[in-house]
Chains A and B, each alone.
Chain A
Amino acid sequence: MKALLEVRNATRSFAGLVAVDSVSFTLAPGEILGLIGPNGAGKTTLISLISGTQPPSAGEILFQGESINHLPAFRRARLGIGRTFQIMRPFPGLSVLDNVAVGALFGRGGGQPKLARAREHARECLEFVGLGKIVDKRADELGGPDRKRLELAKALAMQPQVLLCDEVMAGLNHAEIDEVIDVIRKVRDRGISILVTEHVIKAIKSLSDRLLVLHHGEKIAEGTPDAVLADPVVIEAYLGKKRA
């Protein structure tokens, strides 16, 4: 299948430290790609390079076969690239509904110009992620798990083609993780490609079609979850040399 998103030798260095080192991969339509690696492996930086909040030092990002390197973040959002943030960034002073409405007002293709329609769409997205009952609360009154759902709903309201989920499961308990996995599967069933990062391997193993492992900014493995997690190089990166 033709790749929806392609990353070619993406590199990002900060004053000598190479956070992402010549990473390449592709994401097919409707695919869930798990991006794993120990803390500090460069997962969030890689997502920022794709969403456009950070410029790459070298390499190229292609969306639907075209380079998007020169496009600012808002243009990439309008093309259909949505993302969530690991450190959650709701608009604190706005209600939950209006937080999501921003995604519907802008988002892919420039979004829905009418506020009433955008709010309607936002309400659907909130029901989809299970926040349908608290749409009128202020975003900064939400607890951790609900904030994760809110981040997802905001990105979904943009009607993206690619969803970049940065650690949407971190800090959640088992039951909550299962719920989020369920939501992400349902998102994929709508035909959206998903790149999801996580450092808890168990959670992501069952969810992903493929896994990609980053370590010190480099890609050290890529393939089916079972094959990747059995790879001695990956085990060494996670557990250290002794156990491998």
Chain B
Amino acid sequence: MKMWKIGLVLAALAVLAGVPWYGSDVLIQFGINALLLAVLAQGWNIIGGYTGYASFGNSVFYGLGGYGVAIAMVQWQLPFAVGMGFGVVLAVVFAVLLGIPVLRLKGHYFAIATLALSQVMTAIVSNVGIAGQNIGLVLPPLNNDPLFYELSLGLLTIATLTIWGMTRSRFGFGLIAIRENEEGAAVMGVNTTLYKVMAFALSGIFSALAGGIHAYWVTFLDPASAFDISLNVKMIIMAVFGGPGTVLGPIVGALTLSTISEFLSSEVTSIAGLFFGLVIVVAVVLMPRGLADMLRRMRKMGWGYFIENIRAHRL
């Protein structure tokens, strides 16, 4: 990576880290949500963007992370950090137990199988006493938004550094090889099953940590909000909007779309969803491979880039 790029990333990080000092309470709260969504988009990026498995099961990891924190703090009176660890353990166990059978499925079949997972988890957790059944759990409040903000930013930084390191490692090359051609990867010596499960678990760890922070922040957790499938759709849209399989794309996608969504819901409250949908459709038509690809190719092709994409859709 070039020096100016590193400088730009560090400057952006400094601006983001300073928000609690110069930003309003509303901005900090918006920031926590946007940063946690960015972590989820990055988590999805590992299994969906790099490995090529479009997971709809990542919201389960998010929910497990939330319940890890909630159960540890409410039922066992343990500190928050222990709860985060517990959530990670739950997510990894889930990724391994379900990943082994489900990751054998390819393409649409994998997506459909994972789609069912959050429904199943909602049903299961609603009947587990220690998780508060379908009533949910109320966590001890901690009124410190700047802390939650910096935690979220720190988690996003770690997730991004992990992905950056991954892209220049044997592990990352193995994942990309699986995405590009799984049989080709296997005959070259990639242990595809192990790598896929590891990618799923890594993806789950970051999603679980995001879920844990969110649960402590909002101090309430019930099965419907913990295993919300629309959250999974959101993280996919954000990762794909920014550029799946790139280091920074999902962050840019998450922050951009969060901002657009926030702006729309304050300006055109009742029909914000409609406009948001319109933004997504236009984005998919004009830049189907995400912002990262657009920025790369626009330099060479100029506005012709959009025209080519429109033609590719035969519109």
Contact = CB atoms under 8 A, between A and B. Distances in A.
A98 B180 CA distance: 12
A89 B183 contact: yes
Interface string A119-152: 0000000000000000000000000000000000
Contact of A108 (B179, B189, B191, B245): B189
Contact of B176 (A73, A78, A93, A106): A93
Interface in A54-93: 72-74, 76-78, 82-83, 85, 89-93
Interface size class of A (residues with CB under 8 A): 20 to 34
A215 interface: no
B189 A77 contact: yes
Contacts of B245: 93
A154 B189 CA distance: 11
A150 B169 CA distance: 22
Most buried by A among B176, B183, B188, B192: B188
Interface stretch (A36-44, A109-117, A171-179, A202-210): A109-117
A83 B185 CA distance: 11
Given A89-B183, A91-B184, A92-B180, A74 B192 contact: yes
B17 interface: no
Contacts of B169: 115
A105 B181 CA distance: 16
Contacts of A158: 188-189
A46 interface: no
B311 interface: no
Contacts of A107: 188-189
Contacts of A83: 187
A75 to B, nearest CB: 8
Contact of A74 (B180, B181, B186): B186
B296 interface: no
B184 A106 contact: no
Contacts of A225: none
A98 B192 contact: no
A103 B188 contact: yes
B170 A115 contact: yes
B191 A74 contact: yes
A42 B190 CA distance: 26
Most buried by A among B173, B176, B186, B187: B187
A92 B176 CA distance: 10
B91 to A, nearest CB: 26
B186 A94 contact: no
Given A115-B169, A115-B170, A102 B186 contact: no
A89 B186 contact: no
B173 A73 contact: no
Interface residues of B, number: 21
B77 to A, nearest CB: 44
Contacts of B202: none
Contact of B187 (A77, A91, A113, A115): A77
A51 B184 CA distance: 11
B186 A73 contact: yes
Interface in A142-168: 154-155, 158
Given A105-B170, A105-B173, A52 B189 contact: no
A13 interface: no
B36 to A, nearest CB: 29
B177 interface: yes
B187 A102 contact: no
A94 B183 contact: no
A60 B206 CA distance: 45
B174 interface: yes
Contact of A73 (B168, B180, B187): B187
B190 A74 contact: yes
A111 B189 contact: yes
Nearest to B180: A91
Interface in B177-232: 177, 179-181, 183-192
Contacts of B192: 74
A5 interface: no
Given A93-B180, A94-B180, A115-B168, A51 B187 contact: yes
A150 to B, nearest CB: 11
A118 B174 CA distance: 13
A98 B181 CA distance: 14
Interface of B: 168-170, 173-174, 176-177, 179-181, 183-192, 245
15 contacts: A74-B186, A90-B181, A91-B177, A91-B184, A92-B180, A92-B181, A93-B176, A93-B180, A101-B173, A102-B177, A102-B185, A102-B190, A105-B170, A106-B170, A155-B188
Interface of A: 51-53, 72-74, 76-78, 82-83, 85, 89-94, 98, 101-103, 105-108, 110-111, 113, 115, 118, 154-155, 158
Given A52-B187, A82-B188, A107-B189, 20 more contacts: A53-B183, A72-B186, A74-B186, A74-B188, A74-B190, A77-B189, A89-B181, A91-B184, A93-B179, A93-B245, A94-B177, A98-B173, A102-B173, A102-B190, A103-B189, A106-B188, A115-B168, A115-B169, A115-B173, A154-B188
